[in-house]
Structure 1
Amino acid sequence: MTPDSVTPFRIDIPDTALEDLKDRLHRVRLAGRETAPDSSQGVQRERLEELLEYWATGYDWRDLERRLTELGQFRTTIDGLGLHFMHVRSPRPDATPLLLLHGWPGSFLEFLKTVGPLTEHGFHLVVPSMPGYGFSDQPASTGWDPDRIARTYGVLMRRLGYDSYLAQGGDWGGVVATRMGAQRLTGLRAIHVNFPEFLAAPPVGDDPTPEEKAALEQGSLFFAVHSGYHVVQRTRPQTIGYALTDSPAGQAAWIYEKFLDWARPDALTPDEILDHISLYWFTGTAASSARLYWEYARQPLAPTELDLPVGVSVFPDELTRTPRIWAERAYHDLRYFNDDIPAGGHFAALEQPELFVEEIVKFARTVAA
């Protein structure tokens, strides 16, 4: 196998791993019931017990494996790291290559329901697992920050033969797509984000508008109420990684909390949630995925400014709703902005695949070659 080869990859978790998971779930030891009448202390025990019971007795990981096998999985090595990705080509000869980038606690699985519609609309899809996530390798040394990941994805697209493409991302995917734009990678025509990187350091005006004030209040609420995981993962990813790698109940609670807080209760099925939890569990990537927060915290936080074409979709239940004026200040070639989407939150592609696809299609028209 040559260093730049791309090889087919088949997901096949051993039966012994499935049996070990069920054994651990049957012997789980949970903390006592919360004392608050709501979820302000974290995932409520009754909800977690229901999820764990279904994980042990009803959930079918093999069904997910079968569906993924039909789509096409691949691996390649870039910068010494094995990278996993889906690559699904559109039947249309004039299709546009589109790189779809996930975040935490999401994964490449976020985009499964959009694959068919997007390829039908004329997009060749490349959907990688972030380094340290899923079936990509876990970095063995420091330095795998968003800038390095961005360069890696540029190499991946060239290796696949794409000399002109778009990139889309939310959460960490939005950060990496932004860094790709800042690096002006060869072939990258434009980026689309549904969670801009600048939300970490908003471009606030001297006299904030009502929309800016509302967004700042949302940001303050996030850091006051929902940021415990963020503090831990950016400061002690290794320590929390031991606990989550050893306990399926702990791994489930750590991720389940985010799906409960960041999406409407009826937006996701138990199977969709457990697909993600199981992916983190079977690949043992609790620590390696969390280290991306640690890497990011060691980079200087500078204002976001991009000159290439950018599109922004603001879903109504996002953690912070991006004001248009912030997008205009950060992106000097803002081609598309929509904050009038009827539904969807942080996991937009997973929650509202039809609306997500619609946003991508409308954005792509503004940057058509």
Structure 2
Amino acid sequence: MSISDVQAFEAHATDAELDDLRSRLAAARLPEAETVSGPRRWDQGVPLADLVDVVDYWRTEYDWRSFEERLNRIGQFRTTIDELGIHFLHHRSARADATPLLLTHGWPDSIVRFVDVVEELANPGDPGTPAFHVVVPSLPGFGYSDKPTTTGWGTEKIAAAWVELMERLGYHRFAAHGGDWGGNITTVLAGRFPEHVLGIHSTFAEAVPGATTDGLTAAEREWVEETRDFWNGSSTRHRAAYAKQQATRPQTIGYSLVDSPVGLLAWILDKFAEWSDTEDSPFERISLDRILDNVTLYWLTRTGASAARIYYESHNSLDPELRVDVPAALTMYPRDVEKCPRPWARERYRQIVRWRTPEAGGHFAALEVPEYFVRDLREGIGVVLSHGGRVLLTR
């Protein structure tokens, strides 16, 4: 297949769909307020007062049309790979020396994670700054990509599909970045397809089984404890309960996520609040409009259930024998929910050419600290390319 198998796409919700959303928000039935307050007010989930404010703004002021227009300006496309329609953003740089760069999002975000950084990555103001042909696919079951109707669309299959996607765009070799599930997929890409991947930049690194804390610094030991607490905390503080629900019963939670916009909002907002580098509200760092862009995309595409299934397909499935030999630049943001110590990361990523631990930022760095994120990604890929091969464009 070739670029002729790629079709232009434009997002456009009907007025009826937007009217229905506002009607559902107006008729929402809400529970009573949480029974905790003060510094612990998020301990039971999204506080009622916060949710009421967001729902009111979503219903009366939020403008989906402006976000649709922004997506259309960036450039949207679809293609079919293994009988599944895949949606993606593709923004080519005006620079002849630009490097193809694949950006992969995770859950509970979407292509929204990267909309604020695409143009700056593609066409930086400084001619001495690296430029990229940016490709941002929607994961299967997310956004405007199709929803798989059978099992099998796990991270291994997605990585293979991304290689096919880049080939169709004329990018035989490319750099890749990801966070969350996108970081997992980027790891698989680099490990399975080194002939296509020039190198990677990731905010995710997963250790191989059996790693011990021997020789770790005090800070690294603290990272290990924080990560273990995230996945295996006490029953009253089990921060990964969402993952176990989606890994075992995505269909059950899916009914609420597809039927109730308030339920969908709360399920997603809870994670933006807990996983961001903030003291209380996620809106300390991420704009309310951007979070609602993300939630509204889930709502209009009815992808609450289908997106959750990536946990059913791939939770804890990264091959323990997988090794990454292409150059890797890794960044561990201080308030991310999982941070891998460098000695552990070296067991899987065997050519770490750049390692950074910023002073600020959490799980959604491209949205929380976009200026730093862009600079770090540029510099990281720059170092990666200096250790890798030359870029080959097949068109």
TM class, shorter-chain normalised?
over 0.9
Match of 1:241 in 2: 254
* Contact 1:74 1:86 (8 Å CA) reproduced: yes
Worse-superposed segment, 299-308 or 158-167: 299-308
1:250 aligns with 2:268: no
Where does 1:256-275 land on structure 2 (aligned, <5 Å)? 256-263=269-276, 264=278, 265=282, 266-275=284-293
- Distance (Å, rounded) in 2 between the aligned partners of 1:239 and 1:35: 26
1:65 aligns with 2:68: yes
- Distance (Å, rounded) in 1 between the aligned partners of 2:250 and 2:45: 19
Match of 1:19 in 2: 19
Shift of 1:245: 0.6
1:319 aligns with 2:327: no
For residues 72-101 of structure 1, what are the alpha-carbon distances to aligned partners after superposition, in whole Å with 9 as ceiling and x for unaligned? 100000111000000001111010000000
Shift of 1:298: 7.5
For residues 117-137 of structure 1, what are the alpha-carbon distances to aligned partners after superposition, in whole Å with 9 as ceiling and x for unaligned? 111241000000000000000
**CA 1:129–1:342 in 2, change beyond 3 Å: closer, same or farther?**
same
Letter in 2 for 1:253: A
* Contact 2:3 2:169 (8 Å CA) reproduced: no
- SS of the aligned residue for 1:63 comes to helix
Shift of 1:297: 3.4
- Distance (Å, rounded) in 2 between the aligned partners of 1:300 and 1:22: 41
**CA 1:345–1:202 in 2, change beyond 3 Å: closer, same or farther?**
farther
* Contact 1:110 1:349 (8 Å CA) reproduced: yes
* Contact 2:253 2:305 (8 Å CA) reproduced: yes
Worse-superposed segment, 299-308 or 348-357: 299-308
- Distance (Å, rounded) in 2 between the aligned partners of 1:322 and 1:152: 27
Which TM-score applies when normalising by structure 2?
Answer: 0.89
* Contact 2:216 2:343 (8 Å CA) reproduced: no
Shift of 1:202: 7.5
For residues 301-355 of structure 1, what are the alpha-carbon distances to aligned partners after superposition, in whole Å with 9 as ceiling and x for unaligned? 525521111110111221133322222222111111111x232110011111111
Letter in 1 for 2:34: E
- Distance (Å, rounded) in 2 between the aligned partners of 1:328 and 1:141: 36
1:222 aligns with 2:230: yes
**CA 1:298–1:115 in 2, change beyond 3 Å: closer, same or farther?**
closer
- One of 19, 43, 46 as aligned partner of 2:49: 46
**CA 1:4–1:287 in 2, change beyond 3 Å: closer, same or farther?**
farther
- Distance (Å, rounded) in 2 between the aligned partners of 1:78 and 1:167: 19
Worse-superposed segment, 205-214 or 185-194: 205-214
- SS of the aligned residue for 1:234 comes to helix
Query: Root-mean-square deviation (CA), in Å?
Result: 1.9
Match of 1:175 in 2: 184
- One of 267, 287, 292 as aligned partner of 2:305: 287
Identity of aligned pairs, percent?
Answer: 43
Letter in 1 for 2:296: S
- Distance (Å, rounded) in 2 between the aligned partners of 1:301 and 1:29: 44
* Contact 1:3 1:77 (8 Å CA) reproduced: no
1:88 aligns with 2:91: yes
Shift of 1:197: 3.4
- Distance (Å, rounded) in 2 between the aligned partners of 1:287 and 1:258: 16
- One of 336, 356, 372 as aligned partner of 1:355: 372
**CA 1:334–1:207 in 2, change beyond 3 Å: closer, same or farther?**
closer
**CA 1:301–1:332 in 2, change beyond 3 Å: closer, same or farther?**
closer
**CA 1:220–1:190 in 2, change beyond 3 Å: closer, same or farther?**
same
Letter in 2 for 1:180: L
Match of 1:29 in 2: 29
- Distance (Å, rounded) in 1 between the aligned partners of 2:195 and 2:325: 14
1:196 aligns with 2:214: no
Match of 2:127 in 1: none
- Distance (Å, rounded) in 2 between the aligned partners of 1:298 and 1:162: 30
Match of 1:156 in 2: 165
Match of 1:328 in 2: 346
Letter in 1 for 2:190: G
1:308 aligns with 2:355: no
Structure 2 unaligned runs (5+)?
124-129, 391-395
- Distance (Å, rounded) in 2 between the aligned partners of 1:203 and 1:305: 15
For residues 167-209 of structure 1, what are the alpha-carbon distances to aligned partners after superposition, in whole Å with 9 as ceiling and x for unaligned? 100000001001111112542111111022339x583344544
* Contact 1:268 1:351 (8 Å CA) reproduced: yes
- SS of the aligned residue for 2:116 comes to helix
- SS of the aligned residue for 2:307 comes to helix
* Contact 2:224 2:339 (8 Å CA) reproduced: no
1:345 aligns with 2:358: no
**CA 1:191–1:2 in 2, change beyond 3 Å: closer, same or farther?**
closer
Letter in 1 for 2:173: S
Match of 1:165 in 2: 174
Letter in 1 for 2:269: Y
For residues 12-53 of structure 1, what are the alpha-carbon distances to aligned partners after superposition, in whole Å with 9 as ceiling and x for unaligned? 011111010011011000111111111111111111111111
**CA 1:301–1:241 in 2, change beyond 3 Å: closer, same or farther?**
same
Shift of 1:260: 0.8
The number of equivalent residue pairs is 367
Which TM-score applies when normalising by structure 1?
Answer: 0.95
- SS of the aligned residue for 1:51 comes to helix
* Contact 2:206 2:345 (8 Å CA) reproduced: no
- SS of the aligned residue for 2:286 comes to coil
Letter in 2 for 1:367: V
**CA 1:209–1:202 in 2, change beyond 3 Å: closer, same or farther?**
farther
